[in-house]
Amino acid sequence: MLGTTVCLAIVISLIIGFSQMFFRKKWDPRSQHCYVTGGSSGTGLALAILLTKKGADVSIVARNEERLQKALAELEKVRQTPNQILKAYSFSVDTESGATAALDAACEAHGGQSPDATFLCAGKSTPGYFVEQDEASLRQGMDETYWAQAFSALAAAKHMVRQRSKGKIVFVSSVLGYMSIIGYSPYSPGKFAIRGLAETLQSEMMLYGIDVHICFPCTIFTPSYVEENRIKPKVTLKIEETDSGDTPETVAAGILRGVQKGRFHITYNFLGDVFRASTCGSSPRNSYFIDLVYGLIGYIALPIWRLTVDSTVRSFRQEHQEHLAGTGFLDPAAAKK
Ligand SMILES: NC(=O)C1=CN([C@@H]2O[C@H](COP(=O)(O)OP(=O)(O)OC[C@H]3O[C@@H](n4cnc5c(N)ncnc54)[C@H](OP(=O)(O)O)[C@@H]3O)[C@@H](O)[C@H]2O)C=CC1
Ligand SMILES: CCCCCCCCCCCCCCCC(=O)[C@@H](N)CO
Protein backbone atom coordinates (compact mmCIF):
# COMPACT_ATOMS: atom_id res chain seq x y z
CA MET A 1 0.00 0.00 0.00
CA LEU A 2 2.77 2.44 1.05
CA GLY A 3 4.83 1.34 -1.96
CA THR A 4 1.96 2.01 -4.35
CA THR A 5 1.37 5.46 -2.82
CA VAL A 6 5.06 6.37 -3.10
CA CYS A 7 5.18 5.14 -6.73
CA LEU A 8 2.04 7.09 -7.55
CA ALA A 9 3.50 10.24 -5.93
CA ILE A 10 6.70 9.85 -7.96
CA VAL A 11 4.80 9.37 -11.24
CA ILE A 12 2.51 12.35 -10.57
CA SER A 13 5.37 14.68 -9.62
CA LEU A 14 7.33 13.52 -12.69
CA ILE A 15 4.37 14.38 -14.92
CA ILE A 16 3.92 17.76 -13.22
CA GLY A 17 7.67 18.43 -13.38
CA PHE A 18 7.95 17.65 -17.08
CA SER A 19 4.78 19.49 -18.04
CA GLN A 20 6.07 22.58 -16.18
CA MET A 21 9.44 22.23 -17.88
CA PHE A 22 8.00 22.11 -21.38
CA PHE A 23 4.65 23.89 -21.29
CA ARG A 24 5.06 26.69 -18.72
CA LYS A 25 5.16 30.00 -20.56
CA LYS A 26 8.30 31.88 -19.53
CA TRP A 27 7.68 35.38 -18.20
CA ASP A 28 8.97 37.92 -20.72
CA PRO A 29 10.04 41.29 -19.23
CA ARG A 30 9.74 43.01 -22.64
CA SER A 31 7.46 46.09 -22.37
CA GLN A 32 6.69 45.23 -18.75
CA HIS A 33 7.07 47.90 -16.09
CA CYS A 34 9.74 46.62 -13.68
CA TYR A 35 10.09 48.56 -10.45
CA VAL A 36 13.46 48.01 -8.73
CA THR A 37 14.22 49.35 -5.25
CA GLY A 38 17.94 49.56 -4.52
CA GLY A 39 18.36 49.95 -8.28
CA SER A 40 21.23 52.45 -8.07
CA SER A 41 23.91 50.01 -6.93
CA GLY A 42 25.06 46.39 -6.78
CA THR A 43 22.46 43.69 -7.35
CA GLY A 44 19.55 46.09 -7.94
CA LEU A 45 21.54 47.98 -10.58
CA ALA A 46 22.67 44.75 -12.28
CA LEU A 47 19.04 43.61 -12.36
CA ALA A 48 17.86 46.98 -13.72
CA ILE A 49 20.48 46.76 -16.49
CA LEU A 50 19.49 43.19 -17.32
CA LEU A 51 15.78 44.06 -17.47
CA THR A 52 16.52 47.10 -19.66
CA LYS A 53 18.48 44.83 -22.02
CA LYS A 54 15.42 42.56 -22.14
CA GLY A 55 13.30 45.49 -23.30
CA ALA A 56 11.48 46.29 -20.05
CA ASP A 57 10.41 49.71 -18.81
CA VAL A 58 12.50 50.14 -15.69
CA SER A 59 12.03 52.40 -12.65
CA ILE A 60 14.82 52.46 -10.09
CA VAL A 61 14.52 53.81 -6.55
CA ALA A 62 17.21 54.69 -4.00
CA ARG A 63 18.09 57.64 -1.74
CA ASN A 64 21.34 59.09 -3.12
CA GLU A 65 20.47 61.24 -6.15
CA GLU A 66 23.97 61.28 -7.64
CA ARG A 67 24.29 57.49 -7.70
CA LEU A 68 20.76 57.25 -9.12
CA GLN A 69 21.63 59.53 -12.03
CA LYS A 70 24.80 57.55 -12.74
CA ALA A 71 22.78 54.35 -12.68
CA LEU A 72 20.14 55.82 -14.98
CA ALA A 73 22.91 56.74 -17.45
CA GLU A 74 23.98 53.07 -17.38
CA LEU A 75 20.43 52.01 -18.20
CA GLU A 76 20.26 54.51 -21.05
CA LYS A 77 23.37 52.91 -22.57
CA VAL A 78 21.61 49.55 -22.96
CA ARG A 79 18.16 50.82 -23.96
CA GLN A 80 16.70 48.58 -26.70
CA THR A 81 13.99 50.83 -28.10
CA PRO A 82 13.43 54.61 -28.12
CA ASN A 83 10.09 54.27 -26.33
CA GLN A 84 11.30 52.22 -23.36
CA ILE A 85 10.51 54.25 -20.22
CA LEU A 86 13.59 54.40 -17.97
CA LYS A 87 13.29 56.49 -14.79
CA ALA A 88 15.01 57.04 -11.44
CA TYR A 89 13.36 58.20 -8.22
CA SER A 90 14.98 59.37 -5.01
CA PHE A 91 13.08 58.14 -1.95
CA SER A 92 13.82 56.31 1.24
CA VAL A 93 11.68 53.17 1.21
CA ASP A 94 12.01 52.10 4.85
CA THR A 95 8.80 53.89 5.90
CA GLU A 96 5.27 53.36 4.61
CA SER A 97 5.01 56.96 3.40
CA GLY A 98 8.38 56.82 1.59
CA ALA A 99 7.68 53.45 -0.02
CA THR A 100 4.19 54.52 -1.13
CA ALA A 101 5.36 57.89 -2.50
CA ALA A 102 8.16 56.17 -4.45
CA LEU A 103 5.77 53.65 -5.98
CA ASP A 104 3.15 56.29 -6.84
CA ALA A 105 5.80 58.45 -8.53
CA ALA A 106 6.96 55.51 -10.65
CA CYS A 107 3.40 54.54 -11.58
CA GLU A 108 2.59 58.08 -12.70
CA ALA A 109 4.94 57.68 -15.68
CA HIS A 110 2.76 54.67 -16.65
CA GLY A 111 -0.63 56.36 -16.47
CA GLY A 112 -1.02 55.33 -12.82
CA GLN A 113 -0.82 51.60 -13.68
CA SER A 114 0.74 49.24 -11.11
CA PRO A 115 4.15 47.81 -11.99
CA ASP A 116 4.13 44.39 -13.65
CA ALA A 117 7.01 43.31 -11.41
CA THR A 118 8.32 44.78 -8.17
CA PHE A 119 11.89 43.81 -7.31
CA LEU A 120 12.82 44.62 -3.71
CA CYS A 121 16.61 44.85 -3.65
CA ALA A 122 17.03 47.72 -1.15
CA GLY A 123 18.97 46.61 1.91
CA LYS A 124 22.12 47.03 3.92
CA SER A 125 24.24 45.03 6.31
CA THR A 126 25.87 46.56 9.40
CA PRO A 127 27.53 43.61 11.14
CA GLY A 128 28.88 43.67 14.71
CA TYR A 129 28.90 41.80 18.02
CA PHE A 130 25.54 41.48 19.79
CA VAL A 131 26.80 42.84 23.12
CA GLU A 132 27.94 45.98 21.31
CA GLN A 133 24.44 46.69 19.95
CA ASP A 134 21.78 48.86 21.55
CA GLU A 135 18.14 49.61 20.87
CA ALA A 136 18.96 52.17 18.18
CA SER A 137 21.37 49.90 16.24
CA LEU A 138 19.09 46.86 16.41
CA ARG A 139 16.10 48.90 15.25
CA GLN A 140 18.28 50.38 12.50
CA GLY A 141 19.18 46.82 11.47
CA MET A 142 15.48 46.02 11.02
CA ASP A 143 15.00 49.27 9.06
CA GLU A 144 17.89 48.35 6.75
CA THR A 145 16.59 44.84 6.10
CA TYR A 146 12.93 44.12 6.87
CA TRP A 147 11.32 47.54 6.64
CA ALA A 148 13.43 48.47 3.57
CA GLN A 149 11.44 45.77 1.73
CA ALA A 150 8.19 45.19 3.66
CA PHE A 151 6.68 48.64 3.08
CA SER A 152 7.36 48.49 -0.67
CA ALA A 153 5.66 45.09 -0.78
CA LEU A 154 2.71 46.59 1.11
CA ALA A 155 2.49 49.57 -1.24
CA ALA A 156 2.76 47.37 -4.35
CA ALA A 157 0.19 44.85 -3.07
CA LYS A 158 -2.34 47.59 -2.24
CA HIS A 159 -1.77 49.27 -5.61
CA MET A 160 -2.29 46.04 -7.56
CA VAL A 161 -5.28 44.83 -5.56
CA ARG A 162 -7.04 48.23 -5.82
CA GLN A 163 -6.56 48.16 -9.59
CA ARG A 164 -7.37 44.44 -9.87
CA SER A 165 -4.07 44.08 -11.74
CA LYS A 166 -1.79 41.08 -11.50
CA GLY A 167 1.94 41.26 -11.02
CA LYS A 168 4.98 39.94 -9.24
CA ILE A 169 6.60 40.80 -5.93
CA VAL A 170 10.22 39.66 -5.60
CA PHE A 171 12.02 39.91 -2.25
CA VAL A 172 15.80 39.73 -1.77
CA SER A 173 16.71 38.08 1.54
CA SER A 174 20.08 36.30 2.04
CA VAL A 175 21.33 32.83 2.99
CA LEU A 176 21.44 34.62 6.35
CA GLY A 177 17.63 34.40 6.15
CA TYR A 178 18.04 30.59 6.24
CA MET A 179 20.75 30.30 8.91
CA SER A 180 23.10 32.60 10.75
CA ILE A 181 26.58 33.01 12.16
CA ILE A 182 28.42 35.23 14.62
CA GLY A 183 28.30 38.98 13.85
CA TYR A 184 24.92 39.22 12.11
CA SER A 185 22.52 40.06 14.97
CA PRO A 186 21.58 43.43 13.39
CA TYR A 187 21.01 41.84 9.94
CA SER A 188 20.01 38.20 9.99
CA PRO A 189 16.74 38.64 11.99
CA GLY A 190 15.44 41.08 9.37
CA LYS A 191 16.37 38.70 6.55
CA PHE A 192 14.50 35.87 8.36
CA ALA A 193 11.57 38.28 8.79
CA ILE A 194 11.52 38.91 5.03
CA ARG A 195 11.14 35.16 4.56
CA GLY A 196 8.26 35.16 7.05
CA LEU A 197 6.51 37.88 5.10
CA ALA A 198 7.19 36.22 1.74
CA GLU A 199 5.78 32.88 3.03
CA THR A 200 2.60 34.64 4.17
CA LEU A 201 2.22 36.53 0.93
CA GLN A 202 2.97 33.49 -1.25
CA SER A 203 -0.23 32.10 0.23
CA GLU A 204 -2.32 35.28 0.61
CA MET A 205 -1.55 36.90 -2.77
CA MET A 206 -3.13 33.88 -4.51
CA LEU A 207 -6.40 35.65 -3.77
CA TYR A 208 -5.40 38.20 -6.37
CA GLY A 209 -3.23 36.23 -8.81
CA ILE A 210 -0.09 38.04 -7.62
CA ASP A 211 3.08 35.92 -7.75
CA VAL A 212 5.55 36.13 -4.87
CA HIS A 213 9.23 35.16 -5.03
CA ILE A 214 12.15 35.45 -2.64
CA CYS A 215 15.85 35.15 -3.42
CA PHE A 216 18.48 34.03 -0.88
CA PRO A 217 21.90 35.19 -2.14
CA CYS A 218 25.27 34.23 -0.68
CA THR A 219 28.14 36.76 -0.83
CA ILE A 220 27.79 39.27 -3.68
CA PHE A 221 30.72 41.48 -4.69
CA THR A 222 29.02 44.87 -4.44
CA PRO A 223 30.02 48.30 -3.08
CA SER A 224 28.19 47.62 0.17
CA TYR A 225 29.96 44.27 0.59
CA VAL A 226 33.30 46.12 0.56
CA GLU A 227 31.80 48.59 3.05
CA GLU A 228 30.44 45.95 5.45
CA ASN A 229 33.75 44.06 5.41
CA ARG A 230 35.46 47.14 6.85
CA ILE A 231 33.45 46.82 10.07
CA LYS A 232 32.84 43.04 10.02
CA PRO A 233 34.34 41.07 12.94
CA LYS A 234 37.43 39.15 11.80
CA VAL A 235 35.91 35.87 12.96
CA THR A 236 32.93 36.44 10.66
CA LEU A 237 35.24 37.19 7.73
CA LYS A 238 37.13 33.97 8.51
CA ILE A 239 33.95 31.85 8.47
CA GLU A 240 32.83 33.47 5.23
CA GLU A 241 36.01 32.38 3.44
CA THR A 242 34.14 29.16 2.51
CA ASP A 243 31.83 31.21 0.30
CA SER A 244 33.56 32.12 -2.96
CA GLY A 245 31.03 34.85 -3.79
CA ASP A 246 29.31 35.92 -7.00
CA THR A 247 29.13 39.05 -9.12
CA PRO A 248 25.94 41.15 -8.99
CA GLU A 249 25.40 40.22 -12.67
CA THR A 250 25.34 36.49 -11.81
CA VAL A 251 22.88 37.11 -8.98
CA ALA A 252 20.66 39.34 -11.13
CA ALA A 253 20.57 36.69 -13.86
CA GLY A 254 19.73 34.09 -11.20
CA ILE A 255 16.86 36.19 -9.86
CA LEU A 256 15.39 36.72 -13.34
CA ARG A 257 15.76 33.02 -14.20
CA GLY A 258 14.07 32.04 -10.93
CA VAL A 259 11.17 34.40 -11.57
CA GLN A 260 10.81 33.14 -15.13
CA LYS A 261 10.75 29.54 -13.93
CA GLY A 262 8.11 30.44 -11.36
CA ARG A 263 10.30 29.49 -8.37
CA PHE A 264 9.12 30.69 -4.97
CA HIS A 265 12.50 30.33 -3.22
CA ILE A 266 15.23 31.43 -5.63
CA THR A 267 18.83 30.26 -5.21
CA TYR A 268 21.33 30.28 -8.03
CA ASN A 269 24.41 28.47 -6.74
CA PHE A 270 25.37 25.26 -4.94
CA LEU A 271 25.57 26.70 -1.39
CA GLY A 272 22.25 28.47 -1.78
CA ASP A 273 20.62 25.31 -3.14
CA VAL A 274 21.92 23.27 -0.18
CA PHE A 275 20.65 25.74 2.45
CA ARG A 276 17.34 26.13 0.61
CA ALA A 277 16.65 22.43 0.36
CA SER A 278 17.79 21.86 3.97
CA THR A 279 15.46 24.49 5.47
CA CYS A 280 12.56 24.19 3.08
CA GLY A 281 9.98 22.90 5.59
CA SER A 282 6.52 23.22 4.10
CA SER A 283 7.53 25.94 1.62
CA PRO A 284 6.85 25.15 -2.04
CA ARG A 285 9.81 23.19 -3.44
CA ASN A 286 11.61 23.81 -6.72
CA SER A 287 11.92 20.14 -7.61
CA TYR A 288 10.98 17.05 -5.60
CA PHE A 289 13.98 15.06 -6.79
CA ILE A 290 16.82 17.53 -7.13
CA ASP A 291 15.90 19.16 -3.81
CA LEU A 292 16.03 15.72 -2.22
CA VAL A 293 19.64 15.41 -3.38
CA TYR A 294 20.57 18.89 -2.11
CA GLY A 295 18.77 18.09 1.13
CA LEU A 296 20.80 14.91 1.50
CA ILE A 297 24.05 16.77 0.84
CA GLY A 298 23.04 19.31 3.50
CA TYR A 299 22.06 16.59 5.96
CA ILE A 300 25.58 15.21 5.74
CA ALA A 301 27.70 18.32 5.13
CA LEU A 302 26.00 21.05 7.18
CA PRO A 303 26.63 19.49 10.65
CA ILE A 304 30.30 19.09 9.68
CA TRP A 305 30.47 22.68 8.47
CA ARG A 306 28.77 23.79 11.69
CA LEU A 307 31.45 22.04 13.75
CA THR A 308 34.12 24.00 11.89
CA VAL A 309 32.17 27.24 12.45
CA ASP A 310 31.93 26.51 16.19
CA SER A 311 35.62 25.77 16.44
CA THR A 312 36.50 28.97 14.54
CA VAL A 313 34.35 30.99 16.97
CA ARG A 314 36.03 29.33 19.99
CA SER A 315 39.47 30.00 18.54
CA PHE A 316 38.67 33.73 18.63
CA ARG A 317 37.75 33.78 22.36
CA GLN A 318 41.06 35.19 23.54
CA GLU A 319 41.27 37.82 20.82
CA HIS A 320 37.68 38.84 21.50
CA GLN A 321 38.35 39.29 25.24
CA GLU A 322 41.24 41.58 24.34
CA HIS A 323 38.96 43.49 21.97
CA LEU A 324 36.33 43.96 24.71
CA ALA A 325 39.01 45.02 27.20
CA GLY A 326 40.35 47.48 24.62
CA THR A 327 36.98 49.12 24.04
CA GLY A 328 36.40 49.41 27.81
CA PHE A 329 33.33 47.17 27.65
CA LEU A 330 34.44 44.78 30.39
CA ASP A 331 33.72 45.48 34.02
CA PRO A 332 37.23 46.05 35.43
CA ALA A 333 36.04 45.06 38.92
CA ALA A 334 35.00 41.57 37.75
CA ALA A 335 37.57 38.87 38.41
CA LYS A 336 39.36 37.54 35.35
CA LYS A 337 38.44 33.90 34.88
N1 LIG B 1 26.30 42.03 -0.94
C2 LIG B 1 26.06 40.87 -0.36
O3 LIG B 1 26.99 40.12 -0.03
C4 LIG B 1 24.66 40.42 -0.13
C5 LIG B 1 23.58 41.27 -0.23
N6 LIG B 1 22.31 40.78 -0.01
C7 LIG B 1 21.16 41.66 -0.14
O8 LIG B 1 20.99 42.01 -1.49
C9 LIG B 1 20.40 43.31 -1.60
C10 LIG B 1 21.29 44.18 -2.48
O11 LIG B 1 22.55 44.26 -1.87
P12 LIG B 1 23.81 44.87 -2.61
O13 LIG B 1 23.66 44.66 -4.05
O14 LIG B 1 25.01 44.42 -1.88
O15 LIG B 1 23.58 46.40 -2.20
P16 LIG B 1 24.24 47.79 -2.53
O17 LIG B 1 24.65 48.42 -1.27
O18 LIG B 1 25.22 47.73 -3.65
O19 LIG B 1 22.95 48.55 -2.98
C20 LIG B 1 21.92 48.80 -2.08
C21 LIG B 1 20.90 49.64 -2.78
O22 LIG B 1 19.78 49.84 -1.94
C23 LIG B 1 19.54 51.24 -1.80
N24 LIG B 1 18.95 51.42 -0.49
C25 LIG B 1 19.38 50.97 0.70
N26 LIG B 1 18.57 51.34 1.67
C27 LIG B 1 17.58 52.07 1.10
C28 LIG B 1 16.45 52.75 1.60
N29 LIG B 1 16.16 52.77 2.90
N30 LIG B 1 15.64 53.39 0.72
C31 LIG B 1 15.93 53.39 -0.60
N32 LIG B 1 16.98 52.75 -1.12
C33 LIG B 1 17.80 52.11 -0.28
C34 LIG B 1 20.92 51.86 -1.99
O35 LIG B 1 20.92 53.22 -2.38
P36 LIG B 1 20.97 54.44 -1.33
O37 LIG B 1 21.94 54.08 -0.26
O38 LIG B 1 21.38 55.62 -2.15
O39 LIG B 1 19.58 54.58 -0.82
C40 LIG B 1 21.42 51.00 -3.14
O41 LIG B 1 20.83 51.39 -4.35
C42 LIG B 1 20.28 43.83 -0.17
O43 LIG B 1 18.98 43.60 0.28
C44 LIG B 1 21.27 42.98 0.60
O45 LIG B 1 20.93 42.85 1.95
C46 LIG B 1 22.09 39.48 0.30
C47 LIG B 1 23.12 38.61 0.40
C48 LIG B 1 24.47 39.01 0.21
C1 LIG C 1 27.92 21.93 1.58
C2 LIG C 1 27.71 22.82 2.74
C3 LIG C 1 28.88 23.73 3.04
C4 LIG C 1 28.45 24.94 3.76
C5 LIG C 1 29.38 26.09 3.62
C6 LIG C 1 28.68 27.35 3.94
C7 LIG C 1 29.51 28.58 3.82
C8 LIG C 1 28.67 29.78 4.12
C9 LIG C 1 29.45 30.94 4.61
C10 LIG C 1 28.57 32.08 5.06
C11 LIG C 1 28.04 32.88 3.92
C12 LIG C 1 27.46 34.17 4.40
C13 LIG C 1 26.99 34.99 3.26
C14 LIG C 1 26.50 36.31 3.74
C15 LIG C 1 25.78 37.09 2.70
C16 LIG C 1 25.20 38.34 3.26
O17 LIG C 1 24.03 38.48 3.33
C18 LIG C 1 26.16 39.35 3.78
N19 LIG C 1 27.23 39.60 2.87
C20 LIG C 1 25.47 40.61 4.14
O21 LIG C 1 25.28 41.44 3.05
* Closest alpha carbon to 160 in 212, 195, 95, 83: 212
Say whether 91 sits in a helix, a strand or coil: coil
Is any atom of ligand 2 closer than 6 Å to the C-beta of 271?
Answer: yes
Count of all residues that appear for the chain in the document: 337
* Closest alpha carbon to 215 in 273, 151, 158, 160: 273
- Asked if 191 is an active-site residue, the reply is yes
Fold of 27-272: Rossmann fold (3.40.50)
**Do 19 and 102 contact (CB within 8 A), yes or no?**
no
Kindly give the number of the ligand 2 atom that is closest to the alpha carbon of 181: 10
Is any atom of ligand 1 closer than 6 Å to the C-beta of 186?
Answer: no
- Quote ipTM for the complex: 0.98
From 60, 92, 121, the mutation candidate for ligand 1 (largest count of ligand atoms within 8 A of CB) is: 121
The CA dihedral of 59, 60, 61, 67, to the nearest 10 degrees, is -140
Q: How far is the CA of 124 from the centre of ligand 2 (A)?
A: 16
- Which residues lie below 8 Å from residue 194, measured CB to CB, with a gap of 6+? 145, 146, 149, 150, 171, 172, 173, 177, 214
pTM metric for this prediction: 0.94
Which H helix or E strand runs over 169? strand 168-172
**Do 50 and 30 contact (CB within 8 A), yes or no?**
no
Kindly give the number of the ligand 1 atom that is closest to the alpha carbon of 248: 13
Between CA 215 and CA 168 the distance in angstroms is 13
Q: pLDDT at position 327, please?
A: 96
From 43, 144, 175, the mutation candidate for ligand 2 (largest count of ligand atoms within 8 A of CB) is: 175
Q: For 17-82, where are the E strands, in sequence order? A: 33-37, 57-62
Between CA 314 and CA 1 the distance in angstroms is 51
Q: Which alpha helices (DSSP H) does the chain contain, by range? A: 2-23, 42-53, 65-77, 96-108, 135-142, 148-162, 188-204, 223-231, 234-240, 248-260, 270-278, 288-315, 317-327
Between CA 220 and CA 85 the distance in angstroms is 28
Which residues on neighbouring strands pair with residue 176, listed in sequence order?
none
Q: pLDDT at position 276, please?
A: 98
Q: How far is the CA of 179 from the centre of ligand 2 (A)?
A: 9
Q: Report DSSP state, residue 113.
A: P
Which residues on neighbouring strands pair with residue 93, listed in sequence order?
none
Of all protein residues, the one whose alpha carbon is nearest to atom 18 of ligand 2 is 219
Say whether 274 sits in a helix, a strand or coil: helix
Q: How far is the CA of 246 from the centre of ligand 1 (A)?
A: 15
Strands 211-215 and 33-37: unpaired
pLDDT tens across the length of the chain (337 residues):
556 665 565 565 555 555 555 556 899 999 999 999 999 999 999 999 999 999 999 999 999 999 999 999 999 999 999 999 999 999 999 999 999 999 999 999 999 999 999 999 999 999 999 999 999 999 999 999 999 999 999 999 999 999 999 999 999 999 999 999 999 999 999 999 999 999 999 999 999 999 999 999 999 999 999 999 999 999 999 999 999 999 999 999 999 999 999 999 999 999 999 999 999 999 999 998 999 999 999 999 999 999 999 999 999 999 999 999 999 999 988 866 5
- Asked if 187 is an active-site residue, the reply is yes
Between CA 103 and CA 165 the distance in angstroms is 15
**Do 90 and 62 contact (CB within 8 A), yes or no?**
yes
Is any atom of ligand 2 closer than 6 Å to the C-beta of 218?
Answer: yes
Between CA 112 and CA 331 the distance in angstroms is 59
Between CA 71 and CA 140 the distance in angstroms is 26
From 240, 246, 297, the mutation candidate for ligand 2 (largest count of ligand atoms within 8 A of CB) is: 240
Which residues on neighbouring strands pair with residue 170, listed in sequence order?
119, 213
Is any atom of ligand 2 closer than 6 Å to the C-beta of 121?
Answer: no
**Do 121 and 38 contact (CB within 8 A), yes or no?**
yes
Between CA 332 and CA 314 the distance in angstroms is 23
- Which residues lie below 8 Å from residue 148, measured CB to CB, with a gap of 6+? 37, 38, 93, 94, 120, 122, 123, 124
Is any atom of ligand 1 closer than 6 Å to the C-beta of 72?
Answer: no
Q: pLDDT at position 3, please?
A: 65
Is any atom of ligand 1 closer than 6 Å to the C-beta of 122?
Answer: yes
Between CA 250 and CA 108 the distance in angstroms is 31
From 35, 36, 37, 41, the mutation candidate for ligand 1 (largest count of ligand atoms within 8 A of CB) is: 41
Active-site residue identified among 89, 187, 268, 294 = 187
Q: Report DSSP state, residue 145.
A: I
Active-site residue identified among 87, 124, 168, 191 = 191
Alpha carbon 77 to chain centroid, angstroms: 26
Is any atom of ligand 1 closer than 6 Å to the C-beta of 42?
Answer: yes
Kindly give the number of the ligand 1 atom that is closest to the alpha carbon of 120: 43
